[in-house]
Structure 1
Amino acid sequence: MSTPTSETTPCFFEKDPSLTLSRRAFAEGVGSLLLMMAVTGAALTGQRISGGNYELGLVVSALATSGALVGLILAFGSVSGGHFNPLITGLQWLSGQRSLRCALAYIGGQIVGASLGALLANSLFDSLASEPLSVTLTSKWVISEIVATCGLMIVVFGCINGGKALTGPFGVGAWLLAAIVATPSASYANPAITLAAVLASGPVGLTLPSATWYVVAEIAGALLALVIISFAYPRTP
């Protein structure tokens, strides 16, 4: 069998599945840590330089977050697939593309890594001067998170089915850049980031009840995306 290349290996799959699971899960943890640090730090920086202008701060956060994610997927994609999101891992498991053992290891690494990333960002900024943003959670915010997550998973699995590894990082970055600005929930679209946001300071911070509803909405959006992708890309028997 020939060695896979960037033209034949689908994105979000490791280049060498024989690499020990601990190494691959470690890559997912480090990537999630750096992603959450960028998400939290960008929100705090945007809050500081925008002078109270929420829209300007959101654009700053969107640019930094999407850029960080593209870079991290490119850096770790060949090692672990570059998920940094339990929804990608979970849907691969549901689709029979990843074992349960691998999925659980990845998700554990993602949640722990993201949590450490939030704490690291807090320590790098004057978090005492930036309390978490207080929002009233409404049905519109929950629906927003469903839509944002569904769109993200459609992009992810559409790129996977497209077949070229380099489409994934830029497709995901482009969608996230748009969705953060275009949705009222700011498109967390990632349970690891959402849960870690409970520990984060500044605009990205969430209360535990809000984070719980966001995670429920994200799972619903991911399952909806799986149905859409399964219809758009039917499997050949």
Structure 2
Amino acid sequence: MPAFKTKTCFFEKDPSVALYRRALSEAVGTLLLVFCVVSAGIEVQRITSNHLAVQAVLAFVTGGVLCGLVVAFGNSSGGHFNPLITALQWLSGDRDIRCTIAYVMSQCAGGVLGALLANFLLSGERPATYPPADLLHLAIAEAITTAGLMIVIFGCMRAQRAMTGPFAVAGWLTAALLAFPTSFMNPAIVLSATWADGIVALPLSRALFLAPAEIVGAVTALAVITAAYPRSKQAATDSLPTDA
């Protein structure tokens, strides 16, 4: 874990806290995020079939829930709830592989459990068929929205603006989901959606197509951030992991 001398967002306040505690925060946070998104999708579909209304509800629920969760768990684990954030921190040398694996596994497990819990409590139905989709356009949109999200997150992080992250992320997610309602921008949510009922449900074949697009978007974002915020040798040394 990083030992930043300047406080920033999406890093835990005390990296010496036991890894299982920090991973638990990631699991619970992702569980609550997916639970709320899937539940909202099931409920709003029961109330209205208006596409714009459904799109708006899911966009604002996702942005609002994530903002609250990042504020709540940010000091504990960094408040990622998204394997892409964790993986890009590892690629940047800011997080070790042991922590990265623990976080990603916790995020995926928490997300699937959140989807199953929403299914159980709301007795949602999984669609028998899915609307036809142009997979190429879906993948391009997924890559662009994911890149935008990662640029917002890592831009706030590199700019060392500790409290801007949650609100910047909520703003981007809300706007992106209103513009591209088919976007997920999070492999843990894509995985969870394959288990979910209601409008959020995603067929496995489509999920396998979206996940690589998210990875492409995330790597592109890392290249942009690296160019926009070049690190000095001292800054890179200060951010090297200091514990396991």
TM-score above 0.5, yes or no: yes
Cα deviation 1:8-31 (Å, max 9, x = unaligned): 411000000000000000100000
**Is residue 29 of structure 2 the alignment partner of residue 38 of structure 1?**
no
Residue among 112, 127, 132 paired with 2:109: 112
> In the alignment, what sits opposite 2:229?
233
Considering Cα pairs closer than 8 Å and 6+ residues apart, tell me whether 1 or 2 has the greater RCO.
Answer: 2
Q: CA RMSD of the aligned region, Å?
A: 1.6
> In the alignment, what sits opposite 1:193?
189
**Structure 1 residue 216 displacement after superposition:** 0.7
Residue among 134, 139, 143 paired with 1:146: 143
Scaled by the length of structure 1, the TM-score of the pair is 0.93
> In the alignment, what sits opposite 1:79?
76
**Is residue 208 of structure 2 the alignment partner of residue 212 of structure 1?**
yes
> In the alignment, what sits opposite 1:93?
90
Question: What is the total number of aligned residue pairs between the two structures?
Answer: 230
**Structure 1 residue 132 displacement after superposition:** 6.8
Matched-pair contact (CA < 8 Å) for 2:156–2:164: yes
d(CA) in 1 for partners of 2:42 and 2:177? 15
> In the alignment, what sits opposite 2:100?
103
Partner of 1:127: helix, strand, or coil?
coil
Partner of 1:92: helix, strand, or coil?
helix
**Structure 1 residue 165 displacement after superposition:** 1.5
Aligned CA distance change for structure 1 residues 19 and 45 (closer, same or farther; 3 Å): same
d(CA) in 1 for partners of 2:192 and 2:210? 12
The residue correspondences of 1:134-173 to structure 2 (distance < 5 A) are 134-137=130-133, 138-173=135-170
Matched-pair contact (CA < 8 Å) for 1:132–1:201: no
Q: Which residues of structure 2 form unaligned runs of 5+?
A: 234-244
Q: Which residues of structure 1 form unaligned runs of 5+?
A: none
Greater shift, 175-184 or 19-28, is seen at 175-184
**Structure 1 residue 164 displacement after superposition:** 2.0
d(CA) in 2 for partners of 1:104 and 1:4? 21
Matched-pair contact (CA < 8 Å) for 1:90–1:103: yes
d(CA) in 2 for partners of 1:95 and 1:184? 30
Matched-pair contact (CA < 8 Å) for 2:55–2:181: no
